[in-house]
Structure 1
Amino acid sequence: MGKNKISKTAAVTVILLALVVLGLAVLLTWTISAGRNVPGASELETPRAPKETDLSILCVGDVMSHSPQTTAQYNASRGRYNYSNNFKYVKPYIEAADLALCNVETTFAGEPYTGFPLFSAPDALASALAKAGFDVGITANNHMADKGISGILRTQRVLQKKGLDTVGSVQQESDPRYLIEEVNGVKIGIVAFTYETGSGQGGVSINGSYVSDEVADHINSFNFNTLEEDLPKIEDAIKGAKAAGAEIVIAYYHWGEEYQQEANKNQRKLARKTAGMGADIIFASHPHVLQQAEYLEPEGSDRKVPVFYSMGNFISNQRTETLGNRYTEQGLMAQVDLTWSEKDGITEIRMGGIPTWVDKYYSEGKQVYEIIPLSEGLEENEALEVSGHLSRAEQALEDANGILGFDQ
């Protein structure tokens, strides 16, 4: 009797021990598979390396459509305009960039189509810019108000319909004065402003003519005569872009003196101010010729800010034959390559670019305009073979290298 009781007690003990061992095994398995829920387990994880992103940003200067260009791009047999051939040689460079911008120095105000002094180009030019690979159309320039408020608003709508985002003018006065582009996971803010003409004694004058208050409310502009008063507008746009999440900020200016190959003191002053406001890259145009490029180093920081004082004409009818000035035929696909780190911001930045030259020649009884990239293989370029203008292109390359101030 006593022996049986002891045996039963031993059996119960063995079962209890087995249950304890099983429970410990289950707990151990859960701990391994769900370690993040156990205090101290996170200490065993490998920290995630900060994200780094390489970006290539490209910008070009003045895209114009003088009357001879508009005529040249009309296909009578089809009854429509097409500008695609203008960009066929530069398209690969534009498409290769992670972000590509252009200054659209015309309006898309509809018919009748007009050239200088009051521009309105066929919508087909906007289509060609999009097909060439541009992402952003900059509308801040001295011809933006050529067709009044209706031209300003329609220009934005046409560009956006064709697939380009816009900056430099707004649909509503209350709209942000900046653009945010997300590129490879990095948010890039863009602000764009044009210079005003006139004394700054009241009212806004663009290209020598005072504009209505309604027009003034829809454009981004500043006046060198009242620059200290206007700087807050620019700074607010940059701060607004950063508040909206911009991790890199690009500023574009339409400024300077036409046909002057040297940046003036006003351009340099505003560039320094803008770099100090936090802009990381400054692109600019308006002189219709190339000007130098350089790095600025804002006080109290280790930042390098590339500045392109004028990217010249990307395409226009300005040239030796029309102005007696070969430098108006030249432009630049300005390029900034950088590395952005989510921990340290921009860690590396380098500026460069490909100079360009506008070839104009006759083929099958029509004028042809084509932008030639002044890179390798000029001798094999089909347009230059047809036009016989190889020596002019080579001269343009020599001119550009002497002006820009950086190695190609």
Structure 2
Amino acid sequence: MSKYKKSYLSLAIIICALLVCNLFLFSKSIKPHKAKQTTNSRKQANKVQAVPATSSESTPATKDIEVTTLKCRLSWVGDVLLHDTLLRAGNAEKDQASNFDFLFQHFTNRFAKIDWPIVNMEGTMTPALKANDQFSAYPLFRSPTTLAKAMQKANVKLAVTSNNHCIDSGVSGVNSTLEALESCGIVHVGTSKSKDSKTWLIKDINGIKVGFSAWTYETVRLNGNIGINGISLPAELVGRVDSFSYESPYFEQDLKRMQDRAREMQKAGAEATVFFMHWGTEYNPQILIASQQIAQALADVDCDLIFATGPHCVQAIQSVKAKNSEHRLLSYYSVGNFVSAQQYSTGLGEPNSANIPGIAEDGLFAEVEFSKPSNSARAKISFATYQPLYCYKPASSNGGHLAQAICLVDANKQPEKVDGQMDLITASAKRTAQIMQENSVEGFNFIDPYKTDPWLKQFAIN
């Protein structure tokens, strides 16, 4: 063999060896990369990845964002309505000398466990600075501003101010009521301080943006002018009180206004929408057809929850399905009174009254929880319940009534809180059970205490 052939053979052997080595090294270099891709794919199953924009030259590392569940819990009680005997018990001769802490003494601890406790502030609060000014009750409710201080001490966060007694003290009364609440750090909804300010609000509660709007029923309009409890709405308050009419064609127009309000709040960022309605026939536990129509209209625009008052008695809790979707609204049609001097009627012989003794002393403490994933823009009701309550009214030393709302289960555990008068508590439990048997809460995680509480079970109606 010539020396040239030997040289060519040696060169070929060297080239082959180099190729084999390169192939081996290349295969080793890609194995760790494949293993890394597999690990990342498992993370995607449990976490949402934020992937920045990439170029053809490089592939930046991904960043994991953990998804959490946000929750907020609301509670709702009914009318805070100070009749004469309650004003007397609170020493309401002078504004700053009065004290109404007794109204909430059995609920302060319960409210402290809620993210946003809400009450219906029925009537007005004024400072009564003039010598001839006097506080008053029915038919025009005018209470001291110290009532707001009692709410603050009880951990109340939101007060509904749109109801049929909200203009009892005129324009100045609307203004002073809102000022009293604001001075105590309590948010209000339903009325506003000016035509330029909103009657509704959106509040971030534990990371969930909740929209609130409150409406009250009107009385018969005169020459087209809005009437609230028979009082013509002053021109200065037009646009500052959210109200609706039962009269046609105003009712149909107001349905659309309420739907537009829900959409407005949703467009403004509300992830859950809550309406407070003051409606119904006084002292009658039957739900009005008009109330059901309003609930349906709100369900159809994805409103989530209705908390209502108005009849001064309890009404059923119902689920309302939207007509054109699977969305459901939960409506507490009435939680009744919270504190008042009422029993069942004003004694005027109302033709539509159910005329049930004690019915206006009963109420509900409603609880609803909203939840949503932190990466979602929509919250849903994840839990709902209630506790029946009773307004116990022991006499004060000056001839008034120390009205104190108390949950029935709390009174059963500590009868001394109602001076041992468990016959009143038992009667209340039976009355409310009769109404709660009409509940229809399909589609919600709803806990009914008449079915779960060992003591209340005995009063349930099967």
Determine if the TM-score, normalized by the shorter chain, exceeds 0.5: yes
Amino acid at match of 1:304: R
Displacement after TM superposition at 1:264 (Å): 0.9
Q: Larger radius of gyration, structure 1 or 2? A: 2
SS at structure 1 position matched to 2:153: helix
Q: How does 1:98-109 map to 2 (within 5 A)?
A: 98-109=115-126
Q: What is the aligned partner in structure 2 of residue 345 from structure 1?
A: 378
- Residue 392 of structure 1, aligned match among 424, 433, 436: 424
Q: Is 1:221 the counterpart of 2:215 in the alignment?
A: no
User: Normalised by the size of structure 1, how large is the TM-score?
Assistant: 0.84
Q: Superposition RMSD on alpha carbons, in Å? A: 2.5
2:263 is equivalent to residue 263 of structure 1:
no
CA distance in 1, matches of 2:272, 2:98: 37
Any idea what the Cα deviations from partners look like across 1:19-66, whole Å, max 9, x if unmatched? xxxxxxxxxxxxxxxx989932334x44x2433212211011111111
1:359 equivalent in structure 2: 392
- Counterpart CA distance in 2 for 1:200 and 1:81 is 38
Residue of structure 2 in register with 1:94 after alignment: 111
- Pick which of 65-74 and 197-206 moved more: 197-206
Structure 2 unaligned regions, length at least 5: 1-50, 129-133, 348-354, 440-447, 450-462
**Matching residue of 2:193:** 171
CA distance 1:78–1:101, change in 2 (3 Å): closer
Question: Secondary structure of the residue that 1:333 maps to in structure 2?
Answer: strand
SS in 1 for 2:402: strand
From the superposition, tell whether residues 344 and 242 of structure 1 become closer, same or farther in structure 2 (CA, over 3 Å).
closer
Deviation by residue 1:335-387 (Cα, 9 ceiling, x = unmatched): 112322242723553321111111112355654221111124525233312xx
Other structure's SS at 1:80 match: coil
Task: Look up the SS of the partner of 2:143 in the other structure.
Answer: coil
Cα 1:238/1:75, change in 2 over 3 Å = closer
CA distance in 1 between counterparts of 2:94 and 2:241 reads 39
In 2, are the aligned partners of 1:200 and 1:223 still within 8 Å (CA)? no
User: How far apart are 1:296 and its partner, in Å?
Assistant: 1.1
Report deviation, 1:123: 1.0
Q: Is the 8 A contact 1:359 1:389 kept in 2?
A: no
Deviation at 1:284, TM superposition (A): 0.6
| Contact kept in structure 1, 2:299 and 2:327, CA below 8 Å | no
2:321 & 2:338 partners in 1: Cα distance? 28
Q: 1:298 to 1:78 in 2, by over 3 A?
A: closer
Q: 1:402 and 1:321, CA in 2 relative to 1: closer, same or farther beyond 3 A?
A: closer
Tell me how far 1:243 sits from its aligned partner.
2.7
Match of 1:3 in 2: none
**Larger helix fraction of residues:** 1
Tell me the amino acid that sits aligned with residue 427 of structure 2: Q
Q: Comparing 171-180 with 70-79, which one deviates more in the overlay?
A: 70-79
**SS at 1:300's partner residue?**
coil
Q: CA deviation at 1:306?
A: 1.1
CA contact (8 A) 2:72 2:208 kept: no
* 1:307 to partner: Cα distance: 0.2
- On the 8 A contact 1:358/1:369 being kept in 2, the answer is yes
Q: Which amino acid aligns with 2:217?
A: Y
2:296 is aligned with 1:277: no
Matched, 1:134 2:156: yes
2:262 & 2:88 partners in 1: Cα distance?
40
Q: Is the 1:50–1:343 Cα contact (8 Å) retained in structure 2?
A: no
* 1:213-235 deviation digits (Å, cap 9, x = unpaired): 22233211111211111223323
Distance 1:393 1:151, change over 3 A: same
2:66 is the counterpart of 1:42: no
Q: Which residue matches 1:245?
A: 269
Separation of aligned partners in 2, 1:155 and 1:395: 35
In structure 2, the CA distance between the partners of 1:380 and 1:272, relative to structure 1 (3 Å rule), is same
Distance across 1 between alignment mates of 2:83 and 2:190? 22
Matches within 5 A, 1:395-406: 395-405=427-437
1:152-191 pair list within 5 angstroms: 152-191=174-213
Count of paired positions:
370
The DSSP-based 3-state class of the residue aligned with 1:236 is helix
Distance change (3 Å), C-alpha of 1:278 and 1:175: farther
Q: With structure 2 as the length reference, what TM-score do the two structures score?
A: 0.75
